Structure 1
Amino acid sequence: MSNVQVLPLLEPESAAPCCPPLTERPLTAVEAERTAVMFKALGDPVRLRLFSLIASHEGGEACVCDISDVGVSQPTVSHHLKKLREAGLLTSQRRGTWVYYRVAPAVLAAMGQLLTSAAGA
């Protein structure tokens, strides 16, 4: 019998991007605030690198043990991963003693859509 405990995915504290392409219409104040939180989280080079490591990892998820070698201490890695989760960019799941991270569903597509031209523009 295995002692591995699988917990459900933790929901990020803010929703995934919801906005139309920037060229379609101006963002509302709420949309701008939500989007700025995500871009602010990605504005740190260590966070951007962690996000990239997770997004490009085989199987679309990465154990914290596989991505912690980014030139900062483990507590700092944990802090940056927490900020990415709070911004709605990552989800996490604990399996035994390890935590596995995954890019939140639809985040990359939604962020890409935000930065593309509207149809016919």
Structure 2
Amino acid sequence: MSNTNVLPLLEPEASEVVAPCCPPLTERPLTAEEAEKTARMFKALGDPVRLRLFSLVASHEGGEACVCDISDVGVSQPTVSHHLKKLREAGLLTSERRGTWVYYKVEPSVVAAMGQMLGSLG
């Protein structure tokens, strides 16, 4: 499903990928650095548009989506680009330019680490 009315996004800027950093919350207190990195990830998901975009990428066939397939979330394309950039900066998504389009993929190691960190609370 390709939306030909959507303009391609600009080439993503290189950003620091946030690596999984933290142990389960019940294991030990987080260091200040671990808390900062983890808060950045959760803050990125705290916006409803970002959470929806993240969900669209994660649930897309193959766990990867072209921006042309996920840009219809009720906001302008520049706003979609901004939110995708924030998700990349938080280390939750990776991106790859293929021709005109940018493809996004969930960073599985970071998501697994977040799940493990929170899963220990139950």
Measured against the shorter chain, the TM-score band is 0.7 to 0.9
Higher relative contact order structure (alpha carbons within 8 Å, sequence separation ≥ 6): 1
Normalising by structure 2, we get a TM-score of: 0.84
- Tell me, yes or no, if structure 1 residue 44 matches structure 2 residue 54: no
Where do 5+ consecutive residues of structure 1 fail to align?
Answer: 1-9
- Tell me, yes or no, if structure 1 residue 25 matches structure 2 residue 22: no
- Which one has a bigger Cα radius of gyration? 1
CA contact (8 A) 2:50 2:87 kept: yes
Where do 5+ consecutive residues of structure 2 fail to align?
Answer: 1-12
Q: CA deviation at 1:25?
A: 0.9
CA contact (8 A) 1:63 1:101 kept: yes
Q: CA deviation at 1:83?
A: 0.5
What are the equivalent positions in structure 2 for 1:1-121 lying under 5 Å apart? 12-117=15-120
Moved over 3 A (4+): none
Please give the root-mean-square deviation of Cα atoms over the aligned residues, in Å.
1.7
SS at match of 1:15: coil
CA contact (8 A) 1:89 1:103 kept: yes
Count of residue correspondences: 110
Amino acid at match of 2:36: E
Stretch moving more, 13-22 or 28-37? 13-22
Q: Percent identity?
A: 84
- 1:82, 1:45 → 2: CA distance? 15
SS at match of 2:108: coil
